[in-house]
């Protein structure tokens, strides 16, 4: 995971690119979660939803951090 100051050192263009990548990653993981949890007839460990939610939260934190830096620029 990147530290705040390394993100702050990036140019606006690089931050916007990173933001798009993180948003794409979030959307893909959200779709995967819906697909996996929507399956019938397969057994999933009880913590599968929580794992997806934790990953989505981490990505959202990165998105928020990048957006905050972009607003300050």
- Residue owning tokens 């913590």: 47
Distance CA 22, CA 26 (A): 6
List Cβ neighbours of 19 (8 Å cut-off, separation of 6 or more): 63, 66, 67, 70
- pLDDT tens for 14-28 read 999 999 999 999 999
Residue 4 confidence (pLDDT): 54
The residues spanned by each domain of the chain are 12-39+48-72
CA–CA separation, 34 and 7 (whole Å):
31
Mean pLDDT of the 4-13 span: 84
Cα 60 to Cα 1, 18, 66, 70: the distances in Å are 13, 13, 10, 15
* The pLDDT of residue 3: 52
pLDDT tens column, 27-63: 999 999 999 999 878 888 989 999 999 999 999 999 9
1 pLDDT tier (thresholds 50, 70, 90): very low
């Amino acid at each position: 995971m990147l530290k705040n100051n390394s993100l702050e050192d990036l140019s606006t263009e690089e931050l916007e690119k990173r933001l798009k990548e993180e948003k794409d990653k979030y959307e893909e993981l959200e779709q995967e979660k819906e697909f996996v949890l929507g399956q019938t007839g397969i057994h999933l460990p009880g913590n599968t939803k929580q794992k997806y939610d934790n990953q989505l939260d981490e990505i959202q934190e990165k998105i928020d951090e990048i957006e905050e830096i972009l607003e300050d620029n």
